Amino acid sequence: MLEQLLSHLGFYIPEVLLIILMCSLLFIEAGYGSREKGRVMVYYAAFAGLFLTAIMLCLNFGHDSMYLFSNAIVIDKFGTLAKLIMVVGTAATFIISLMVTDFERELKPEFLIMGVGVLIGGMLLVSANNFLTLYLGIETLSILSYVMASFKRSDSRSSEAGIKYLLYGGVTAGIMLFGLSHLYGVIGSIQFTEVFTVLKTVEGTKLASVLAGFLLFFVGIGYKISCFPFHMWTPDVYEGSPISVTTFFSIVPKIAGLSALIRITSIFFASNNELSEFWVLFIHLIAVATMTVGNVSAIKQVSMKRMLAFSSIGHVGFMLLGIVVIDTVGYGAILFYLLTYVFMTLVAFYITAILEDYYGTDTMASFKGLVKKHPWLAIIMSCTLFSLAGMPPFSGFVAKFNLLSAIIDKGYFSLAFIAAINSVIALYYYVMVTKYMILGDVEFSEKAKTVNFNNQLIISFLFFPIVFLGIFWEKVYTLAQNATIFLP
C-alpha cells in the first residue's frame, strides 16, 4: 500500500513541488516579507519553483496514461501539456505583475503565493478523474481567485470585483454540486470510468435525470470558462481587479476549465447515443451564443480591460467549437488555440498595463496616437490585435483555421459560417483600436515613462511566439494533436 502510494507520488512530482513551493513562499513572506530583501527572495524562489515544475512536467510527458491514488487523478499527455501551458502563463503573469505598479508593492509576494495556489487548483482540475477532485480543483481555483480579485485594498472597485466573483462563484459551485449529487445518486459512483460504463446503458427516466444532472454540472464549468449564460461577471471582475490579476484570470482558470470540459466530453460523450447527441447540440448552442454575445458586446466598450474581457468571451465561444466535433482533432486544435491565446492575452494586457500605469486610465484615450510616441509598442500592439482577430500571418489565424477545418470536416457548415461572421465582427473592434493608435490625435502629449527598455524587451519576447507559431506551427500543432490521442 505504502509502496504503491510512493510510486504514485513519483508521477505527481509537479503538483507536490508546487505545494512545497507555496508553503515555503508563505514562510519566507511571513518571516522576511516586511523587508525588500525578503520580497526579492520570494520572487526568486517563485520563479525557480515554477521552472523546476516545468522541467518535471516535461519529464512526465514521456509516460503513458497513469491512474493515481485510487483512480482519483489521471496523468496523461493531454493534461501534462495543458499544465505546461498554465505554468508558462503563470510565470509570464508574475513577470508582468513585478514590472507594473497596479497595487501596493508590499502585496506583490502575496500575489505570487496566491498565484501558485490557483495554479495547483488548476492542475488538480485538469487531471481530475472523479467528481471529488473535480470539485476540489474548481474550489481551490475559485476561493483564491476571490482574494486575488480584491487585492487592491484601498479601492472599493477592487473589493466589488471580489464580491461579484464570490457571489457568482459560490452560487454556480453550489448548483454544480447539486447536479453532481443527483448524478451520483442515479449512477452510484463518483469515478469517471464507472460513470462511463453505466452511462452507456441508461435510458428512460434515468436518462432524463442524468441529462438534468449534467446540465446543472455544466453551470459550474461554464462559469469558470465564462461562457454565455454565466458570463456576466467577466467584464466587471476584469475591470475591477488589478491588471496583473486580470491577466492571470484570463489564462489559468480558462485553460483549466476548458481542459476539464474536454476531458469530461471525451470520457462521457464519445460514444454515439442519445446522450452524446444532446450534449453536442447543447454545446453547439452555447458556443454560438457565447461567440455572438462576447463579440457584439465588445464593440461599444471604451475601457480596454472591458473590451478584452468581452473578446475573451468571444474566444471561449470559438474554442467550444472544438468540443462540438467530439474528436481528438478538435481537442488538439483547442490546445493549440489556448497556447496562442495565452501569448496574445499576455502582450495585449501588458501593453494596456504599462500605459495605465503612467496615464492612470485604461480607456482608449491612452492608446490614441501611440504610434507617434512609441512606434515599436504600437506596431506590436497592432500585430497582436490582428492575431487576436485571426489574421494571417499570425498564430491567431492558424489556431482559428485549424478549428474551422475541424468543424467543416464534420459537416457543420452553418456553425463555420457563424464563426466566420463573428471573426469579422471581432476584426472590426480590434481594428478600431489600431485606428486610434495610428490615425488618432494624441490625447496625452507626454511620453509614458513606463515604456522603458526592460518593458519593451519583455513585450518583444512575449510577442515572438505569436509570430513564430504563425509561421512554423506544424510541429507544435502535431504535438498538441499527439497529446490528445490517448484521451479515453
Partner 1 sequence: MMMSLASYLVISAFLFLIGIAVILSRKSLIAILLGIELILNAAALNFVTYSRFGSQDLDGHIMTLFIIVVAAAEAAVGLAIVIRHFQLKETIHIDEVSQLKE
CA angle 170, 307, 287 (to 5 degrees): 60
CB of 44 to partner 1, least distance (A): 28
Confirm if 187 and 194 have CB atoms less than 8 A apart. yes
Q: Examine residue 101 and tell whether it contacts partner 1 (CB under 8 A).
A: no
Residue 186 CB, nearest distance to partner 1 (Å)? 9
Rank residues 70 and 405 by Cβ distance to partner 1 and give the closer one: 70
Among 8, 182, 206, 373, binds partner 1 (CB under 8 A): 182
Applying CB under 8 A, the span of 10-18, 91-99, 168-176, 332-340 interacting with partner 1 comes to 168-176
Per the DSSP assignment, residues forming a β-bridge with 66 are: 75
391 φ/ψ angles, rounded to the nearest 5 degrees: -100, 140
How far apart (Å, rounded) are the C-alpha atoms in residues 341 and 319? Answer: 10
CB of 283 to partner 1, least distance (A): 24
Residue with the three cell numbers 513606463: 450
Of 110-118, 159-167, 247-255, 401-409, the segment contacting partner 1 by CB under 8 A is 159-167
Q: Which three cell numbers stand for residue 332?
A: 488538439
Residue 228 DSSP one-character state: G
Buried b (16+ CB within 10 A) or exposed e, 352-383: bbbbbbbbeebbbbbbbbbbebbeebbebbbb
Check binding of 150 to partner 1 (CB under 8 A): yes
Sole binder of partner 1 in the list 49, 137, 240, 317 (CB under 8 A): 240
Question: Is the Cβ of residue 76 or residue 239 nearer to partner 1 in the bound state?
Answer: 239
Residue 212 contacts partner 1 per CB under 8 A: no
Query: In the chain, count of helices (H) and strands (E)?
Result: 21, 2
Total residues interacting with partner 1, rule: CB under 8 A = 45
* Residues contacting 11, CB < 8 A, separation 6+: 60, 63, 66, 68, 75
Q: How many CB atoms lie within 10 A of CB 331?
A: 27
Nearest-angstrom CA–CA distance, 148 and 248: 10
Question: Cα-flanking dihedrals φ and ψ of residue 444, to 5°?
Answer: -105, 115
| Segment near partner 1 (CB under 8 A); pick from 87-95, 164-172, 248-256, 435-443 | 164-172
Scanning 128-136, 222-230, 327-335, 343-351 for contacts with partner 1 by CB under 8 A, the matching segment is 128-136
What is the Cα–Cα distance from 217 to 211, expressed in whole angstroms? 10
Q: Which is nearer to partner 1, 128 or 324 (CB)?
A: 128
Stretch 391-410 residues interacting with partner 1 (CB under 8 A):
none
In the complex, the smallest distance separating the C-beta of residue 488 from partner 1, rounded to whole angstroms, is: 20
CA distance 78 to 46: 25
What is the smallest separation between the CB atom of 147 and partner 1, expressed in angstroms? 6
Here's the x/- map for partner 1, 26-45, by CB under 8 A: it reads as: --------------------
- By CB under 8 A, tell whether 374 contacts partner 1: no
How many CB atoms neighbour CB 13 within 10 A? 16
Q: Give the span between the Cα atoms of 334 and 283, in whole angstroms.
A: 14
Query: Which uninterrupted H or E stretch holds 41?
Result: helix 36-60
Pattern 60-99, partner 1, x by CB under 8 A = ----------------------------------------
Instruction: Check binding of 131 to partner 1 (CB under 8 A).
Output: yes
Question: Which residue in the set 75, 161, 316, 399 belongs to the binding site for partner 1 (CB under 8 A)?
Answer: 161
The site for partner 1 (CB under 8 A) is made up of: 131-132, 135-136, 139, 142-143, 146-147, 150, 153-157, 159-164, 166-167, 170-171, 173-175, 177-178, 180-182, 184-185, 188-190, 235-236, 239-240, 301, 303, 306
